[in-house]
Amino acid sequence: MEKLITEGDLSLLKDKNIAVIGYGNQGSYQALIMRDNGLNVIIGNIRDEYAKKAEKDGFKVYDIPEAFERADVILMLIPDEIAPEIYKSVENIVNRKEGLILDFASEYNVAFGFISPPKTSDVIMVAPRMIGEGELLLYKQGKGYPVFLGVKNDYSGKAWEYAKALAKGIGAIGKPGGIAVRSSFEEEALLDLLSEHTWAPILVASIKAYFDIVTEKYGASPEAAILELYASGKLAKIARAMADIGIFKQMKFHSTTSQYGQFTRAEKYYDILKKLLKMKQKKMEWRFCKGMEPRANCW
């Protein structure tokens, strides 16, 4: 199968009942896009403010066990730390519904064995590399967005086709800019966790350290420091350029002074940060989270 995928057959899902479990950041936007694409969508949620929002948005909302009973396709879009408990409460339903399609946007629990779907289900991964609000914004602009696709269990023999269809249903592929990368549950979990424990906190720490030093040691005003760091939106523009043309090609938009500073200092920091990444990688064992709760304390 191709590594990069740009299309899916939405007709595979047209006659199926799709339950979105959780109406938060991902669930709400994916549900809205699927409904707009003509799919039959219901919401499974506890009775809270998210359920009220789903009802206000025009969806039928059911308790999670009933949503599982009614659905042919399940999208598990609830936080990692509560997903195993929720799944355990409906596991008997899943086990007796032969041919159920189970989709996970976060692969953490399946990869680490906290959730073990039955062999009688298609278990797929449709994992957007985009925040929910961004998914809907791009969809309204007639654009797609990147997504990881994977299959953990192919009971029907059509699990990959269902994954591609669902990726199209949530607006990821089938439009300009939309691309699906073939991956796996284990790879997605690894990349996600390493990002959350390495470069992402390093970025936050760098910003805070810069702010503290320039304001406390050099007397810069907090307002000017924050503007220079991120409030101007320059950082977001640089990140956008990296995504569009690449990390090195976007350097042409920087001054020669900026280019000099970035290239010479990046080389100095590289070895230090690579050692940190390797330390994290050595700790990355597929049993390291047994009994962990919540996930943030995993490492």
CA pair distance 299, 283, nearest whole angstrom = 8
For the chain, what is the radius of gyration of the CA atoms? 22
- 250, 256, 259, 265 alpha-carbon torsion, rounded to 10°: 180
The three-class DSSP label of residue 82 is: coil
Query: According to DSSP H, which parts of 112-220 are helical?
Result: 132-140, 159-169, 185-197, 199-216
Of the chain, the end-to-end C-alpha distance in Å amounts to 35
Token duo for residue 52: 């009220």
Between the alpha carbon of residue 246 and those of residues 68, 147, 238, 258, the distances in Å are: 43, 18, 10, 17
104: its two tokens? 């996970």
- Rounded Cα distance between 108 and 190, Å, is 8
Question: Which tokens sit at 126?
Answer: 């449709």
Binding residues: 192, 196
> How far apart, in whole angstroms, are the C-alpha atoms of residue 51 and residue 151?
30
Q: Are 172 and 126 in contact (CB under 8 A)?
A: yes
Q: Which residues are annotated as a binding site for Mg(2+)?
A: 192, 196
